[in-house]
Structure 1
Amino acid sequence: MAAFTTGEAVALDLPIARVPTRATAFILDLVVQIGLALVLGLIATLMIALMGADSAWIDVAVTTVIVGTLVGYPVVCETLMRGRTVGKLVLGLRVVRTDGGPIDFRHALTRGLTGAIVDFWMLGGFGAIAVITSMCSPNARRVGDVLAGTVVIYGQKQLPAPALAVPPPWLANWVVQLDLSGIPEDLALAMRQYETRFRTLTPAAQVGLGQSLVITVCTRLGVAPPGNFPAMQIIGAVIAERQRRALTPPYSNPELLGLTPAALAAVRG
């Protein structure tokens, strides 16, 4: 088990997938990749034969088959299957971000490229680097996981629905006019952690950290702080509006909150 802090500052203990299970999933995926390579190779051979192409086209076909098999397969699967490949699906594994949220194409691409170049094939000694780095890592992370900011867990356990914030009525009109696209995820996480841990902070930390966050947020948004309101109320209003837009058309982006379909249904009632 390993401790995670989700995007809503919820502490979780999730079971980490270790080397033996991940190796088994890798072997299953390798079987699928070999089959995929044979199919792609057959298609490429038929096309080259029909076109009467020269050796340059053969080189292109070989490169396409290799890249499509080694990189394309894990990237497409993990993107479309929410952190799973065929092997991971069979063994109940899932790739998640280090905050416990779902991965996207960027994470899958980083893992796929690093796996092909470093962890497994070109430099990886047929998986030796992946095994060594995973065994040395507390959370069994290979190089691709470190670069992508991901970890592989047993995926049967669902993440809880986050607690949604409620904006102070006197800040509702101000916050609804803001363009919140300027807030990066790391800053949003710091804001949520400040709100959820506010009562555990010392009075000096409540004021100092709150003022610092308000200045940072307003600078990012290009607006002035809305009057002499407490930092907790200003930050809470921004968080609440960000959550509202993640769950309400025309925004409707539940991935912003790291919600599973079941959790999204629970939040929407």
Structure 2
Amino acid sequence: MSTVTGWQHGGPADGVVIGEGVRLDTRPASVASRLLAALLDVLALLVAAIVVDFVLGQVQLPLDEHTGRILSVVSLVAVVLVLPTTVETLSRGRSLGKLIAGVRIVRDDGGPITFRHAFVRALTGVLELWGTLGSVALLVALVHPTGKRIGDVLAGTHAARVRTPAPVRRPVEMPLPLAGWAAHADVVRLPDGLALAVRQFLARADRLHPASRVELGTRLSAELATYVSPPPPPGTHPEAFLAAVLAERRRRETDVELERVRRVEEEARLLRRLPHGVPDPAA
């Protein structure tokens, strides 16, 4: 069985659909969002550095010049390497600035990052961000298709939007000419990946290139026809066939669920009944 990955043939990709038919809503974050998150992170680091410097000044440790230099280097490494790596690892890609800007660092396959990814990003950032004041990272992000900086390319990660409003999923309408056929058709259980691919196709069909729309609709209808008997009336449009099957599938599943709820309520009512001959005070 084939599976749609994004939208092939030039359609817009509002996410990633992996081989199992699972849609990963990992839309790349804009460069502006990443820039805002970076500025907020730098501000947070500066505040932390000021607090640490103030505390060390109050303690007034007796340090010689050599020890002071070592402490300065250690503090610098902690700020530009250890702290960013620790924060991104523990938060699974969400620092304070990214949390406010609605950005998360994820792997290229949409999964959460690990210590390795965070360390490579932070290590690269020593030169890419701190060494060039972020100019190299900004230029690379502007020209990269998904807004990656060099650290993301080396680590295999990207910045994803996580506060995107959830799309409103409207139920598929039953085409009236096919209502009678669908009510008597035998529709076996559809594979989850195929059902998801058909639902996504119908939701985005009007945004696809006309040739891609015809090709993909025809392919999905041929794939779906193996699970439906008898076939639709001759001359049925592929998209109408797909919509009829999904709408009928939803109707039957709803009827089954309503019947299950009714049986559960009936069984609960019988269990609450008192033995025969005992008056029911609620009656």
TM-score normalized with structure 1 length: 0.52
- The separation in 2 between residues aligned to 1:133 and 1:55, in whole angstroms, is 40
Q: Structure 1 residue aligned with 2:150, among 143, 147, 162?
A: 143
Structure 1 residue runs without a partner (length 5+): 159-195, 198-269
SS in 2 for 1:84: coil
Partner of 2:98 in structure 1? 88
Give 1:60-99 correspondences, 5 Å limit.
60-99=70-109
Superposition RMSD on alpha carbons, in Å?
2.6
Q: Give the CA deviation at 1:101.
A: 0.3
Indicate conservation of the 8 Å contact 1:25/1:87, yes or no.
yes
Indicate conservation of the 8 Å contact 1:2/1:139, yes or no.
no
Indicate conservation of the 8 Å contact 1:29/1:86, yes or no.
yes
Indicate conservation of the 8 Å contact 1:16/1:153, yes or no.
yes
SS in 2 for 1:120: helix
Partner of 1:25 in structure 2? 37
SS in 1 for 2:152: helix
Q: Give the CA deviation at 1:44.
A: 3.8
Instruction: Give the direction of change, closer, same or farther, for the CA distance of 1:55–1:89 in structure 2 (3 Å limit).
Output: same
Give 1:95-244 correspondences, 5 Å limit.
95-117=105-127, 119-122=128-131, 125-156=132-163
**Percentage identity across paired residues of the two chains:** 35
Q: Give the CA deviation at 1:155.
A: 1.8
- The separation in 1 between residues aligned to 2:32 and 2:122, in whole angstroms, is 20
Partner of 2:48 in structure 1? 36
Instruction: Give the direction of change, closer, same or farther, for the CA distance of 1:131–1:56 in structure 2 (3 Å limit).
Output: same
Partner of 1:229 in structure 2? none
Q: Give the CA deviation at 1:39.
A: 2.1
Structure 2 residue runs without a partner (length 5+): 1-12, 166-192, 195-283
For each residue in 1:94-152, what CA deviation from the matched residue of structure 2 results, as whole angstroms up to 9, or x when unmatched?
000000000011111111111112x2112xx2111101111111110000000110000
Partner of 1:203 in structure 2? none
Instruction: Give the direction of change, closer, same or farther, for the CA distance of 1:34–1:8 in structure 2 (3 Å limit).
Output: farther
Indicate conservation of the 8 Å contact 2:15/2:27, yes or no.
no
Indicate conservation of the 8 Å contact 1:5/1:99, yes or no.
no
- In the alignment, residue 69 of structure 1 is paired with which amino acid? V
Q: Give the CA deviation at 1:41.
A: 2.4
Q: Give the CA deviation at 1:69.
A: 1.4
Q: Give the CA deviation at 1:29.
A: 0.7
Q: Give the CA deviation at 1:43.
A: 3.6
- The separation in 2 between residues aligned to 1:135 and 1:29, in whole angstroms, is 20
SS in 2 for 1:103: coil
Q: Which moved more, 1:12-21 or 1:82-91?
A: 12-21
Q: Give the CA deviation at 1:21.
A: 0.9
Say if 2:16 is the partner of 1:4.
yes
